[in-house]
Structure 1
């Protein structure tokens, strides 16, 4: 049975998965935009440090105010609506919540949220990949000890890479390299949150209107985020990190098999079974045709 068929079955039987979301910022809002269209899922509660900001994001992605007007989590469960508050512990500890989605972007807080969820025997989807890069194997061990599921967010690049690795291994293939694409040049590492928006073709005002976080988007540009995500892939798959850091070799999709192989075989890798991030730009800034900037391999 497919995931979608399973969710449809739950919807038809009136027993949706009851989800609690911690963190309703930029990435939380992406989930909020989609969850009303997902059958068999009831987002019963949202916990955010600023419920007012969470409400703004809910309306921005198309939620009618009455859909998140529940005065308590119990009220939300009875009415099929959503409660918005600031008490993440009450959310995690409520017996009706099946799955906790951690989406704060704060790795220290995320670890605390995950550990408490495991203590409460809750399954966790961890969108805060920085927390997984920091201590993902330990979180996975704690989840296993509690008998619950710990997962990265499917659809985000690290989880998609892990899915490809799992498919390849299950099909009997050895994995030489796995990773993602990225638009990267060496001087991007000098970018700061104060200078980042010019690289994206945005003004600071446009970024504020879109609810974009300068520190977060600078981490995409300067290579911090790809490094963090690659660490999460290593944690989940057992692949190794390059000993001297990611090299961001320029390559088209067609070039990846010849570039992402060990140096002794004409490639750039330190060894087989390694993660890497491929740049969509030549070192002189020229765009590469048929690039994998937004994809994974």
Structure 2
């Protein structure tokens, strides 16, 4: 469809954007793009590091004379960019849409809730917030006649968009998911295999580049080759929990399969076990590690949907054109090998403002919980700190479970962040809210009402 026609600019003032976590990596990509979209104005930028934020804005080419501190906002011109280090203050300033990108579960939730309750739209970047309170925030938005949505450009929104495209076409979905953030890159000349800045001897992978007659055996052998690499990230689980809940999917296994897969194999791997694949049932969500040879294009943390082929002749024609169809012609993979972060987000913001449309569904279709199992023994008094690029919770493995299959009181993973254990927890135990103290009760309440 013609997006320009759909989102054509109407007369009137630019759409005013408030952005929290404004000096983060995602925010930078959005701020860079907003310079190219005149109908969107970054009216309020909030971050604890105002000095760093000013430096970022200078690098991007924002005029210094347009930057105004929140304390001086009352006298600011209409094209001013107001800077604040207090997320609670932005409600007093004028904006149309909040883009929440702090990545902090408690702060992000409060910012989003306040915006919705005061009649402002919210585009959520902080998947940590949505994994806990997404369903609740959708209901708050509906009560206040505003839009709450995931921000396009990150995998959850992109995958939900692809799912809606597939469902509209009437195709039968078997599996959905994404690739992990970093590819596994094999150099066939040296046998070295790299993941980001880690390199191992991957010569054993050369014997398993083809799926062979047994998909499960080949995947097991590939997994052995890369056993030394940490391929699992909490962020992956969080993103898939968001999609599972909003889109109505569930994990096949709570720690996800994480197969080492080449793009051309997705339809074979994510088929049902009875057809030689890894799935016990349809409607599953998963993450794979993209394996490619040096020089081949990356999957780039993109997203995919595997569907049943409704007419073998149709899909045989498509396979001849290079589309990914399983060897038995019963399944096909449809995928977007990209996620452009803030570069894409303006489309979400325009869709909210012009059409009142969200990237996902207006109410949750599933009931998946992102929970945590102790990765090691956790003595009483252990602080479950959260940090790192992927917002891992120290000492805790993320798992995706259905709420109805686990004990009442099982804690959402990010409610556990920075809480302290009140009993000895053994490795492998599912952590309950009664096992910790120092959690945010407001955040917990939002999760239970989700």
**TM-score when normalising by structure 2:** 0.53
Q: What's the RMSD between the two structures over aligned residues?
A: 2.7
Counterpart for residue 249 of structure 1: 259
Change (3 A) 1:293 1:7: closer
Matched, 1:276 2:283: no
1:19-45 deviation per Cα after TM superposition (whole angstroms, max 9, x unaligned): 111111222111111111113111111
Instruction: Give the structure 2 partner of residue 105 of structure 1.
Output: 103
- Which of 253, 261, 264 aligns to 2:274? It is 264
Q: Please identify which structure carries the higher strand content.
A: 2
What corresponds to 2:242 in structure 1? Answer: 232
Distance 1:289 1:56 in 2: 36
Alpha-carbon distance in structure 2 between the residues aligned to 1:266 and 1:86: 54
2:196 maps to which residue? 200
In structure 2, distance between residues paired with 1:145 and 1:270:
39
Deviation per CA, 1:127-168, whole angstroms, max 9, x where unpaired?
101111122112212212221111111011111100010111
Aligned length: 261
Higher-Rg structure is: 2
Structure 2: how far apart are the matches of 1:3 and 1:75?
37
Q: 1:145 to 1:7 in 2, by over 3 A?
A: same
Moved more, 161-170 or 65-74: 65-74
Work out the CA distance in 1 between the residues paired with 2:32 and 2:272: 42
In structure 2, the CA distance between the partners of 1:56 and 1:288, relative to structure 1 (3 Å rule), is: closer
Candidates 141, 166, 169, aligned match of 1:168: 166
Once the two structures are overlaid, the 10-residue window that deviates more, 115-124 or 242-251, is 242-251
Equivalent pair of 2:105/2:128 in contact (CA under 8 Å)? yes
Cα distance per residue 1:160-184 (max 9 Å; x no partner): 1000101111111121111111247
SS of the residue aligned with 1:176? Answer: strand
**SS of the counterpart of 1:46?**
strand
Q: Please give the alpha-carbon distance, in whole angstroms, between the structure 1 residues aligned to 2:171 and 2:136.
A: 28
Which stretch shifts more, 272-281 or 57-66? 57-66
* Aligned counterpart in structure 1 of residue 156 of structure 2, from 148, 155, 158: 158
Secondary structure, counterpart of 1:281 in structure 2: strand
Give distance in 1, aligned partners of 2:295 and 2:130.
32
**Which residue in the other structure is 2:46 paired with?**
47
The residue number in structure 1 matching 2:32 is 33
Distance apart, 1:289 and its partner CA: 5.8
What is the distance in 2 between the residues matched to 1:289 and 1:50?
A: 39
1:85 is matched with which residue? 84
Contact map agreement 2:183 2:196 (CA 8 A) in 1: no
What residue number does 1:18 align with?
Answer: 16
TM-score under structure 1 normalisation?
0.79
The answer to which of 65-74 and 100-109 deviates more is: 65-74
Higher helix share: 1
Q: Classify the secondary structure of the residue corresponding to 2:264.
A: coil
- Unpaired segments ≥5 residues, structure 1: 186-197, 203-219
Gaps of 5+ in 2: 185-193, 199-229, 305-450
Q: What is aligned with 1:294?
A: 301
* Alignment partner, residue 122 of structure 1: 120
- 2:303 aligned counterpart, secondary structure: coil
